[in-house]
């Protein structure tokens, strides 16, 4: 599955759930290995689309989709910009 589709699916699922989701639950739902999912979660967190909270078994709990992430889902406009890292 292409990166864009994976990231869209992650945000759509978080938007549907509206509450805490474990990394394991999300990995099962999106059908990814946890290490592959972690790459996408880190990208989305760095871009401000979601917040991660804590870590269990090497993968974070997703605490919330942010307003930026919600707007992306609600407007169906999935144009991710690479986060600026200083």
Residue 5: pLDDT above 70? yes
Q: Is residue 80 part of a domain?
A: no
Q: Is the pTM of this model over 0.75?
A: yes
Number of domains observed in the structure of the chain = 1
**Mean pLDDT over each residue of the chain, to the nearest integer:** 83
Q: Is residue 81 part of a domain?
A: no
Q: Is residue 84 part of a domain?
A: no
What contacts 85, CB < 8 A, 6 or more positions away? 46
Q: Give the pLDDT band (50/70/90) at residue 60.
A: low
> What is the domain extent for residue 26?
3-74
| Chain segment 24-56, per-residue pLDDT in tens | 888 899 999 888 988 899 899 999 999 888 765
What CATH number is given to the structural domain containing 22?
1.10.10.10
pLDDT the model gives residue 59: 62
Q: Is residue 85 part of a domain?
A: no
State the CB neighbour count (10 A cutoff) for residue 23: 21
């Amino acid at each position: 599955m292409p990166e864009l589709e994976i990231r869209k699916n992650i945000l759509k699922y978080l938007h549907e759930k509206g509450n805490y989701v474990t990394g394991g639950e999300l990995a099962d739902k999106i059908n990814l290995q946890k290490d592959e999912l972690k790459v996408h979660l880190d990208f989305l967190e760095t871009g401000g689309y979601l917040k991660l909270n804590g870590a269990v078994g090497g993968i974070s709990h997703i605490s919330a989709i942010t307003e930026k992430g919600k707007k992306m889902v609600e407007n169906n406009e999935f144009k991710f910009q690479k986060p600026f890292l200083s």
